[in-house]
Amino acid sequence: MDGHFVPNITIGPAIVKALRPHTTKPFDVHLMISPVDAYLDAFAEAGADTITVHPEAGPHIHRSLQHIKSLGKRAGVVLNPATPAKMLDYILEMVDLVLVMSVNPGFGGQSFIDSQLRKIAAIRKMIDASGRDIDLEVDGGIDARTAKLAIEAGADALVAGTATFRGGPDAYADNIRALRGA
């Protein structure tokens, strides 16, 4: 988040680089920044494994995805709530991950937008029809109830911020168990 594409500011390549030596877990960076292309190399060099971008964040989504792939990274595309699944018709063969935003990006703690369940189901059909191994991830308003719904609609992976951290450190383990139970 850069304070321009969305109103908040979060971590940049320096933080990714500082964390990279401490884990072999894959780093999936969701770039809510504009213009996005100027930052692709920096996040790749910092140690990102997957770089996920919004079509609205640069002039040419095809070029952004091609560049991510040329860096040897997995390429992902993010669909905001109002971005139609149909736009994937033109780029699905270029991506390794589709991220559906189930809230408008920029702030944690928002409520899940139920219409995104139809979008998740439609994208799952598109991915399955493609025959490719493409991850379908959902971010925004994920809690134990919506996690179950998103998985039933076809999601492979979920991003849960507020539901994970609600209640402070003593509640984290129970929160994660509730999400996994979905």
139 is in an annotated binding site: yes
Beta carbons of 51 and 69 less than 8 angstroms apart? no
What's the domain range around 137? 13-180
Average pLDDT score over the chain: 91
Q: In CATH, what number is assigned to the domain containing residue 38?
A: 3.20.20.70
Quick check: is 3 in a domain? no
37 part of the active site: no
Contacts of 161 (CB under 8 A, 6+ apart): 108, 109, 142
Quick check: is 80 in a domain? yes
Among 37, 96, 135, 139, the one annotated catalytic: 139
Measured in degrees and rounded to the nearest 5, phi and psi for residue 35 equal -80, 135
162 is in an annotated binding site: yes
Quick check: is 57 in a domain? yes
The pLDDT value recorded for residue 46 is 96
| Nearest-angstrom CA–CA distance, 92 and 62 | 10
Quick one: average pLDDT of 74-102? Answer: 97
Tokens of 135: 């991850």
47 is in an annotated binding site: no
Q: Where are the beta strands (DSSP E) in 4-155?
A: 28-31, 50-53, 74-79, 97-101, 135-139
Q: What is the pLDDT of residues 11-33, one digit of tens each?
A: 788 889 999 999 999 999 999 88
If residue 114 lies in a helix (H) or strand (E), which one and from where to where? none
The pLDDT value recorded for residue 9 is 54
Task: Give the global pTM.
Answer: 0.90
**Total domains, the chain:** 1
Band (182; pLDDT cuts 50, 70, 90):
confident
